Chains A and B, each alone.
Chain A
Amino acid sequence: MLESDMELPNTSENPTPLVLSEAGVESLAGAAKWSRIFAIIGIVFLCLYVPLMFCLSLMMVVMIIPPVVMTGLYLLPVFIVLLPLAIAPAIFLFRHSKNARLAADSCDGERFEHASRNMKGLSKYAGILLIIYILYTVAYWGILIGLILSNS
């Protein structure tokens, strides 16, 4: 089936299929291994870091020194939102690493497709979160600078 596909003319309807060679498959297996380690460490860090930063920003909010309170007010919503949202990328990454490893072991195109779909989900999710964070930061600093300028 593969050979017959390869013999098809190279048109836009039947383009030459991309083939991941043995070196590519080895790299895929390596990527699967490292992404799994990253996912495990990421989850452990999230479990430690996010609640810690949440408590720290809460402490900053209740302090009296204005710059510290402002920093706490800036960080607190980020960590409230981050805690439930942070688990989804870890799930995507776990699925990606699992399917990538299986694809590398069995040289299965379907498995590779599943791995690619989860990688796309992860990058899309992280990208959207990044856009929201940038907008939030710009809006926060815009309001803050506006307030400072209006008071001076």
Chain B
Amino acid sequence: MEQQFETQERNIVVTPQAERHLSKTAGWVLFMASVSALLLFANVVVLVLLFFSLEPKFNYIELTALLLLLVPFLLMVAVTYNMFSYSILVKKAINNRDSDALDDAMANKRLFWKHSTLYLILSFVIAIAVCLLFYFTHQFNNYF
């Protein structure tokens, strides 16, 4: 009996009300992911313009700053991908009564929060790092 209890799987039965909440959440997340994808596209344009606006004389400091700024950008790409995946998988799980899709959606949700947290921390750290880099190398004089 004890052994039976130990091997018992930990499952959660999703109530119909929770399904409705999940479905609505997926709709809003899909909308936010679409806006995020548009903003990322705009970011790509800005980054490309910044890259080509670098002075002809190769400036390692500006290039380092640009590469550092790529890190939060890539994290944001991951966050957007997780948002799309989460919403699509939740819709699939509810429409097809597919519990495996719901498991995958939860895995994406975990990754979404993980990447979002890393984005929040790293974008702050990198912004400070770039400011310090420009300050100590007197790069601000090029702009102001």
Contact = CB atoms under 8 A, between A and B. Distances in A.
Interface residues of A, number: 43
Given A116-B25, A134-B35, A18 B117 contact: no
Query: Main SS of the interface on chain A?
Result: helix
Nearest to A1: B13
Query: Main SS of the interface on chain B?
Result: helix
Interface residues of B, number: 39
Interface in B79-125: 93-94, 97-100, 102-103, 106-107, 109-110, 112-114, 116-117, 120-121, 124
B97 to A, nearest CB: 5
Interface string B1-40: 0000000011111110111011011001101100100000
B12 A37 contact: no
Given A18-B97, A123-B29, A27 B106 contact: yes
Between A10, A37, A124, A134, the greatest number of chain B beta carbons within 10 A of the residue's beta carbon is seen for: A37
Contacts, number: 134
Contacts of B112: 31
Contact of B106 (A24, A38, A108): A24
**Shortest Cβ-Cβ A-B pairs, 5 listed:** A34-B113, A24-B103, A116-B21, A123-B28, A27-B106
Interface of B: 9-15, 17-19, 21-22, 24-25, 28-29, 31-32, 35, 93-94, 97-100, 102-103, 106-107, 109-110, 112-114, 116-117, 120-121, 124
